[in-house]
Chains A and B, each alone.
Chain A
Amino acid sequence: MKQLIISILKPFAGFCFELVNKVTPDAALILYIVVMALLTLWVMTLKQEAMRQDGKGRYKLWQDLRTAAVAIMVLQMIIYLVFR
């Protein structure tokens, strides 16, 4: 049974390995950054939400939960870029 599964999967596994090997480290880094950037953009489209429960009406940018989330994702992107 095990040998049958291996014989079925092995050619496909080899094909995938060759495919993944063609991806350069720089391309992988760009992919990570793009994923994080898209998530950051998505967070920006969410509804504004105050840090404090009493945050009614207009409030400053740094009182918005989205700002904290975006700041953390930007920090993550910087770490990806610096420690490549």
Chain B
Amino acid sequence: MGMNDIVDYPEWTEDLAINQGVWAVTLRHEAKKAVIFGAFLKIFIPFLIVVPGIIGFVLFPELESGDDIYPTMLHNLLPAGLTGLVFAGFLAALMSSVDSYLNSASTLWTMDVYKRYIRKQADSHHLLVVGKILTIIFIVIAAYIAPFTDRFSGIFNALQTLLSIFQGPILAILLLGMIWKRANSPGAMAGLVVGVLTSSTLFWVQADIFQAKDPYLYIAWWSFLTAIIVTAMVSLGTKPQPQEKVKTLMFSKEG
């Protein structure tokens, strides 16, 4: 349930790297088509990730880390020319993902932090320069923290663990904001803060609490549940949002 409902749904609704592509289209029904087609492709991800992993595990049982399986299979099973081609494709996909996420992070910080709180009158050229500088800063930070993934049992687990700290609370406030008219900003902020504190605390004490070695799915689930409860309680205890303001943001069958 943690993976299926808490970690995966947010990827489609909150992940700016995915959403930016959808927002780029001008027609709403085209955006819906893009998401549906993306979901179709996503179905085959287990066959692209899990099945090669299982094959590699059987063929090369001596490997100590799961992260070594893919390059080892490329090196041993493919002819020289094809290895280079697959590796080029792999790097192209990697760079495409990395630039999307750098662009998303830079946009978020430039528009939602720098422009909103630091320099409200900044023109577009100034913001572009700030965005570029932030991109370089994020690359340096990413390069610095990359070796810390060794503390986890694989890159995938490292990624999911870090995401699970935020995805549960964010899904909680997004979901309540979409379906519950009474949800408001103070409730969302409280839910987010308490949810992230919950997941951070559980991450801190995980070895003594959870039976699983990498319990990020459980952490995501509990932080989601905490955030739902806190958001609902604080929303009920504070002033509701004006209905005309929330009407267009809420789910309706009219689309």
Contact = CB atoms under 8 A, between A and B. Distances in A.
A6 B201 CA distance: 10
A72 B33 contact: no
Interface string A28-54: 000110010000000001110111010
B204 interface: yes
Interface of B is mostly: helix
Nearest to B221: A16
Nearest to B40: A72
Contact of B253 (A9, A45, A51, A53): A45
Given A35-B4, A50-B29, A79-B43, A13 B253 contact: no
Interface residues of B, number: 24
B205 A68 contact: no
A17 interface: yes
A65 B37 CA distance: 10
Contacts of A49: 29, 32, 255
Interface residues of A, number: 25
A43 B30 CA distance: 17
B15 interface: no
Contacts, number: 54
A83 B45 CA distance: 14
Q: Is the interface of A mostly helix, strand, loop or mixed?
A: helix
B209 A6 contact: yes
B32 A6 contact: no
Contacts of A58: none
Contact of B211 (A17, A47, A68): A17
A27 interface: no
B93 interface: no
A68 B61 CA distance: 41
A9 B254 contact: no
B208 A10 contact: yes
Contacts of B40: 68, 72, 75
Contacts of B33: 51, 65, 68
Contacts of A45: 253
A79 B42 CA distance: 12
B99 interface: no
A4 B245 CA distance: 44
Nearest to B35: A69
A35 B210 CA distance: 26
A56 interface: no
B63 interface: no
B14 interface: no
A84 interface: no
B210 A13 contact: yes
Interface of A: 2, 5-6, 9-10, 13, 17, 31-32, 35, 45-47, 49-51, 53, 65, 68-69, 72, 75-76, 79, 83
Given A13-B209, A51-B33, A65-B29, 17 more contacts: A6-B209, A10-B209, A17-B211, A31-B1, A46-B253, A47-B254, A49-B29, A53-B29, A53-B30, A65-B33, A68-B33, A68-B36, A69-B36, A72-B36, A72-B39, A72-B40, A75-B43
